[in-house]
Structure 1
Amino acid sequence: MVPTMMLAADSSRDAHRAEALRGLADAVTRRGEAPVVSSFGSADDLRSAVEAVEGPLVVVPAYLAGSDRASAELLAGLDLDHRFDACTTAPLGAVPSIVGSLARRLQQAGWRPGDGVVLAADGTSDQDERHQLTSVARMLSRRVQSPVQVGYLSAWAPSVTDAVERLRRRGQDRVCVAAWQLVEGEGHGRLRDLDATAVTAPLWPAGVVVDTLLAQHRAATARLAA
């Protein structure tokens, strides 16, 4: 029996983001690899959704590591210890295909060789997610052959604004922002207000996002069957 795939994230305060996440869930469903349900709301919504699923279940976070504090807190509060047939995967992180898609987004946005680059993340207190962010910055730096500075929207330092200004003080006239975000939402709107040369679009609707989410589900399915 193929486990149900539950895409989960917090979108309770952002209707535009919720719509984008539903579009992502529809795209995953159309692949036909597994039964797909979603929970894009509060902690109570997530618990209710989990309880409604009979049989094996894989909860797949629908956000990028370090990109969404609210969703990280939501998933951290989910207790599946009472379910021998259920597990949660890690959020998408330093996956070569995902970072490659981000590099292509930079080129599409107007990045040119030699431009300064800021990786814009929401911020996180989770050490694993912070490690993923550091790895993403290193991988992106190798892709663009230029140093990549991490900046944060709502936690830790430097802020995205400070990171952009720091590169400008170092002589970078052109600074591009690589948005470490899965879908369009309020956070991306704040990035567009920056004094940056260019800001990338969120990673979805790149097909690699669906590919990677399904790959996580397949890996978790194998673990549950072991």
Structure 2
Amino acid sequence: MVLVADDKQDAQRGESLRELADAVAARGEAPVVPAFGSAAAVQAAVDRVDGPKVLTPAYVAGGDVASAELFSGFQVTGRGDVYATDPLGAVPSIVADLAGRLADGGWAPGDGVVLAADGGTGQPERQTVADVARMLSRRLGSPVQVGYLNSWAPTVADAVDRLRRGGRRVAIGAWRLVEDGDHERLRELGEVVTAPLWPADIVVDTLLARHRAAKARLAA
């Protein structure tokens, strides 16, 4: 498994990504190669891996613009020894974990909810974020607004402001995989702000499940 992400030259983000890679490797299912950094650094790390490899996004769809742009630059079509998985998305168990984080953080029925995403490179990621918002709304039994940090509209701040006009407290569910500087911006906006999805066992479980499915495709 080659875990791929842009590290944005963010020390906190880089540390979180390395911890994720270590946690996946500790399960002992497959060798794990961290490929975090610039496009050139990541490509070099990928090229150093001999034999079949599964390129695995270390981010959630719509949760990391820079990593999505980096990952989309890899050309794997026609290569029988490489398989690229999709980024994590509207996985019921991951959405359930996010709902639990909101409740544990102090969200209560009647509070407004904003799903805070980063944005992405195209319509499929926007659709994934919308799907996550719908699933989260069903879990909570409450409407969920979507806000974006670094691309697309509305912004997280705009979504929070709209909900506050009704006099409500606002809880923000962070749709991002690891801790980084951008997450600090969210903490200034809501009464409740969840931590990124990692660390959580369900993240490791899902990454490994996708790796097993990719291995089966490579072996077919």
Same fold (TM over 0.5): yes
TM-score, normalised relative to structure 1: 0.95
What residue is the counterpart of 2:63 in the other structure? 67
Does 1:116 find its partner at 2:112? yes
Residue 28 of structure 2 corresponds to residue 32 of structure 1:
yes
- Amino acid in the other structure paired with 1:173: R
Cross-structure match for 2:171:
176
Q: Could you tell me the TM-score, scaled by structure 2's length?
A: 0.97
The Cα of 1:121 is off from its aligned counterpart by 0.4
Runs of 4+ in 1 over 4 A off after TM superposition: none
Q: Hey, what does 1:202 align to over in structure 2?
A: 196
CA contact (8 A) 2:69 2:121 kept: no
Contact 1:57–1:86 at 8 Å: present in 2 too? yes
Question: Matched residue pairs, number?
Answer: 220
Question: Which residue of structure 1 lines up, in the alignment, with residue 14 of structure 2?
Answer: 18
3-state SS of 1:32 partner: coil
SS of structure 1 residue aligned to 2:90: coil
2:186–2:193 Cα contact (<8 Å) kept: yes
The Cα of 1:107 is off from its aligned counterpart by 1.1
Q: Distance in 1 between matches of 2:15 and 2:112?
A: 32
Whole-Å Cα distance in 1 between the matches of residues 102 and 80 of structure 2? 42
Where does the alignment leave 5 or more consecutive residues of structure 2 unmatched? none
2:90 paired residue number: 94
In structure 1, runs of 5+ residues without a counterpart are none
Deviation at 1:81, TM superposition (A): 3.1
2:163 aligned with 1:167: yes
Q: How does 1:138-157 map to 2 (within 5 A)?
A: 138-157=134-153
Letter of the 1:190 counterpart = R
Q: Cα offset for 1:172?
A: 4.5
1:38 aligned counterpart, secondary structure? strand
Root mean square deviation, CA, Å: 1.0
Which residue of the partner structure matches residue 216 of structure 1?
210
What code does the residue aligned with 1:211 have?
D
SS in 2 for 1:150: strand
